[in-house]
Amino acid sequence: MTDQVFIEGLECQAVIGVFEWEKQIRQRLLIDLVIQWDNRPAAAADDYAHALCYDTVSKAVTALVEQQPHELVETVAEKIAALILERFGAPGVQVRVAKPGAVANASTVGVRIERRAS
């Protein structure tokens, strides 16, 4: 399938990091998603009921990221991928989690993963 739904620059405020000082504050994470999704049924019917709702996905991802602390952006990425595949039934997803300002000489650092439904 070549159809994709994307969400770029989803900003979340998360307790994220391995250092003790990081566990006491919220830091900004930026999340990009590329979700494999068959857009043909929604397009053919011009019907929202057949579309993947960007707002619903964004709210679910934000809640997941912000509800509990994590040490690693790798963990956050894996949890987001699992959410998209399981809750929304997507056949595949690419997840990019960026942590701006984490490294002094870089604008951002993070991870990018791609997962498929089993």
Catalytic residues: 99
Name the strand (E) or helix (H) holding 54. Answer: helix 54-67
Cα–Cα distance for residue pair 61/85, rounded to 1 Å: 12
Cα–Cα distance for residue pair 78/92, rounded to 1 Å: 13
- What are the tokens at 44? 């053919």
DSSP helix/strand/coil, 2: coil
